[in-house]
Amino acid sequence: MATVVVATGNLGKLAELKDYLQLLDWDLALKPQEIEVDETGETFIENARLKASEVAIATKSWAIADDSGLSVFALNGAPGVLSARYGDRDTDRIERVLRELGDESDRRAEFVCAIALSRPDGTIALETEGRCPGAILMAGQGAGGFGYDPIFFVTAQGKTFAEMSNAEKERYSHRGIAFEQLMPKLKQLKLTD
């Protein structure tokens, strides 16, 4: 069984990736706490590559990383790569997006998830980007999820991420789309040094 380091210190993200990657014969490990990666990329894919590559080199193992967030068209893509840092708490981040969007009629947005898999030498073996189109509501709906989920309306499903079951969100989300795109390639990949 190949060990793949997940380039995060977040146990919740590790558990989530285990769900997506359960069909692979991989032993997923959390990155060591002492490894810190500055997310200096201007795009989600740049940050995913940075995290995967630096963690792979530091651990001398295969590493997988993702970077994701919300992109609002009328805000020129904001909050974008700053999605997690757009406020101190989820409510602050939601309020800021709604305040900045104001009465704007163009409420189109998308959630983006970039995933990169790095070889132990830091070269990127595979990458993808999943996008879930939707719109920003005037106020939140639903009690589930986290982050921007209550204000992100998935038009194709007719509900917000916060109104979806975990299984629905897993299937229709940007992360679900990214893993669906990547999985056929991951299944064919032989992890060797």
Q: Which residues are annotated as a binding site for substrate?
A: 8-13, 68, 146-149, 169, 174-175
Query: Binding site: which residues?
Result: 8-13, 38, 67-68, 146-149, 169, 174-175
**Which position among 27, 66, 67, 121 bears the catalytic label?**
67
Query: Binding site for Mg(2+): which residues?
Result: 38, 67
**Nearest-10 Cα torsion for 12, 14, 19, 24:** 180
14-133-19 Cα angle (round to 5): 20
The CA distance from 61 to 55, in Å, is 8
- CA-based R_g, the chain, Å: 17
**Nearest-10 Cα torsion for 12, 13, 14, 18:** 100
Token look-up 């793949």 returns 4
- Which positions ≥6 away from 76 have C-beta within 8 Å? none
Q: Are 82 and 151 in contact (CB under 8 A)?
A: no
Residue 46 class from Cβ within 10 Å (0-12 exposed, 13-18 middle, 19+ buried)? middle
Active-site annotation holds for 67: yes
The CA distance from 59 to 158, in Å, is 43
Catalytic residue positions, numbered: 67
